[in-house]
Amino acid sequence: MVKAKMTVDKDFTIGVVDKRLYGSFIEHLGRAVYGGIYEPGHSSANEAGFRTDVLEMVKELQVPIVRYPGGNFVSGYNWEDSVGPVAERKRRLELAWRTIETNEFGFNEFVDWSKLANSEVMMAVNLGTRGVDAARNIVEYSNHPEGSYYSDLRIKHGYKEPHAVKTWCLGNEMDGPWQIGHKTAEEYGRVALEAAKVMKWTDPTIELVACGSSSLGMPTFPEWEATVLDHTYDHVEYLSLHQYYGNADQDTPTFLARSLEMDRFIETVMATCDYIKAKKRSKKTMYLSFDEWNVWYHSNESDKKLDPWQIAPPQLEDVYNHEDALLVGCMLISMLKHADRVKMACLAQLVNVIAPIMTDTGGAAWRQTIFYPFMHASVFGRGTALVPLIQSPKYDTKQITDVPYLEGIAVHNEEQGEVTVFAVNRHLEDALQLEVDLRSFGQCSLLEHIVLESDDLKAANTAAQPNRVAPHNRGGAEVSGTLVTASLAKASWNVIRLKIQQ
Ligand code: AHR
């Protein structure tokens, strides 16, 4: 029998969890927009053409911020194409994903949609084919009240009030050779700095995210971060991280251990930021925006076979299975473990494209397996993340050693008087007997123990079987004084919700 222990103390805090840790991402890619969030003519569409069945599921996730419009797409994006009368909008060859972009849905429509989704907009500017001028103009269009060319143009387009978009990304993955307008760190650092200056001169209240590396595996990592921050440190608030994992070689023990790599990635970026902070004798701390993260590999082969220049073809439509949900749970725990520095994150993406929500165009919408750990963390993981002192047996794989079977963290929600323990049992054969010592919390009682488990690691939800993998709350955790005991099913995601007795 595998036994593990987690000790938490309400005074041993990591940091306040910024609600924007539970952000997501909508790119003009595949069916994320067309057939995803927007489908006029669908039986659930509202007068704006937004699918309300999808909106309801987005609301279940309580997504506080959504990044838009890319991704690789943004590096060829002319924002002016996407505003104004729809009939006059230009159709464009979209070079990042080799499709036709009709621009029927654009920036203003996305702002409208975000309001209905109870979400803020995280807007990215094009630093691939464009630069400083387009960047300042879109901030003026979006945020300036009135009395200038672009703010008056917004008003003419029917939006009297400024959009007040607070968070802006300075381009996307500019270190990647696949990026339209790919740059060296020096080239990007310079243009990001100049764009940052004029964007903030246009609206001093905005916050900016500079591009970090596209993944831990980039040959320029972490020199890229150091060079970019050398240029931009005083002008941006966040540095981005992106990371996707796959299990193409069907090595699930290694796959489930990837979140330990994510820990190291975050810690290396933190160290690089702090090195530049020291070099600049700065008092400012750089925060991290993990604005693309997920599992991504299932759709790679089918995507290679797609014909180019289609409108909204199915692209990156990963069908997620149970083990993917477990890694997504571990990745969420990894970010919570660094809640003092990771202040924003975007599950990439939200609908159809490597997404927790899938739709059939003209048909139903359903929740993929990864929907559940993301929803649980977003709904119950608000408050203060506590240091998880974990004692667990470990395993080794060829690639990653010292992998604890137990992955876990606790979040203390003082407002609600609750503590929530998130835990993954990485053991594929055995249940794990967990003991959580809540020490300083005093008497607690169990609210519920939610479990996501499956008899098949490869089980997935589909239109025909939308609830094949779904959580239940019959987990069986017990509380005695300040001690919680629970048997965590093999290969399971667990949410143990506790009420603190006053
Ligand atoms: O999210 C899909 C793609 O992954 C994004 O467009 C890009 O930024 C990343 O490489």
Which domains, from first to last, does the chain contain? 2-9+386-500 (2.60.40.1180), 18-258+279-329+345-373 (3.20.20.80)
Mutating to test ligand 1, I would choose from 173, 174, 179, 351 the residue with most ligand atoms within 8 A of its C-beta, which is 173
Average pLDDT along the chain, 502 residues, taken 10 residues at a time: 94 98 98 98 98 98 98 98 97 97 98 98 98 98 98 98 98 98 98 98 98 97 98 98 97 98 98 98 98 97 95 97 98 98 98 98 97 98 97 97 98 97 98 95 95 97 97 96 96 97 79
What is the Å distance from ligand 1's center to 179 Cα? 10
Q: Tell me the C-alpha to C-alpha distance, in Å, between residue 125 and each of 24, 104, 247, 285.
A: 17, 19, 32, 24
Catalytic residue among 39, 173, 194, 453: 173
The CA distance from 67 to 192, in Å, is 18
pLDDT recorded at residue 485: 98
Which ligand 1 atom is the nearest neighbour of the CA of 348? 1
Query: Considering only CA atoms, which residue is closest to atom 9 of ligand 1?
Result: 71
What is the Å distance from ligand 1's center to 207 Cα? 22
Which ligand 1 atom is the nearest neighbour of the CA of 214? 10
- The residues, ordered by sequence, that sit 6+ positions from 401 with a Cβ below 8 Å of its Cβ are 394
Kindly state the tokens that stand for 198.
């004029």
What is the Å distance from ligand 1's center to 12 Cα? 36
Mutating to test ligand 1, I would choose from 67, 72, 215, 240 the residue with most ligand atoms within 8 A of its C-beta, which is 72
Are 208 and 235 in contact by the 8 Å Cβ rule? The answer is yes
Which ligand 1 atom is the nearest neighbour of the CA of 71? 6
What is the Å distance from ligand 1's center to 21 Cα? 18
What is the Å distance from ligand 1's center to 439 Cα? 43
Residue ranges around ligand 1 (CB below 6 Å) = 27, 70-72, 172-173, 214, 292, 348-349
The CA distance from 170 to 141, in Å, is 17
Kindly state the tokens that stand for 437.
């010592």
173 belongs to the catalytic site? yes
Query: Considering only CA atoms, which residue is closest to atom 8 of ligand 1?
Result: 71
Which ligand 1 atom is the nearest neighbour of the CA of 178? 10
The CA distance from 238 to 169, in Å, is 9
pLDDT recorded at residue 377: 98
What is the Å distance from ligand 1's center to 301 Cα? 16
Beta strands, E only, 348-417:
357-359, 365-367, 384-386, 389-391, 394-395, 403-404, 406-413
161 belongs to the catalytic site? no
Note if the bond before 222 is cis, omega within 30 degrees: yes
What is the Å distance from ligand 1's center to 242 Cα? 9
For the stretch 360-399, pLDDT in tens is 999 999 999 999 999 999 999 999 999 999 999 999 999 9
The CA distance from 178 to 185, in Å, is 15
Query: Considering only CA atoms, which residue is closest to atom 4 of ligand 1?
Result: 71
Query: Considering only CA atoms, which residue is closest to atom 3 of ligand 1?
Result: 71
Radius of gyration of the chain (CA): 23
Residues, the chain = 502
pLDDT recorded at residue 1: 79
- The residues, ordered by sequence, that sit 6+ positions from 99 with a Cβ below 8 Å of its Cβ are 308, 309, 310, 311, 312, 313, 315
Note if the bond before 128 is cis, omega within 30 degrees: no
Query: Considering only CA atoms, which residue is closest to atom 1 of ligand 1?
Result: 348
Kindly state the tokens that stand for 185.
């760190």
Are 114 and 107 in contact by the 8 Å Cβ rule? The answer is no
Catalytic residue among 27, 109, 292, 453: 292
Mutating to test ligand 1, I would choose from 24, 122, 175, 242 the residue with most ligand atoms within 8 A of its C-beta, which is 242
What is the Å distance from ligand 1's center to 348 Cα? 8
The CA distance from 165 to 26, in Å, is 16
Mutating to test ligand 1, I would choose from 292, 295, 318, 346 the residue with most ligand atoms within 8 A of its C-beta, which is 292
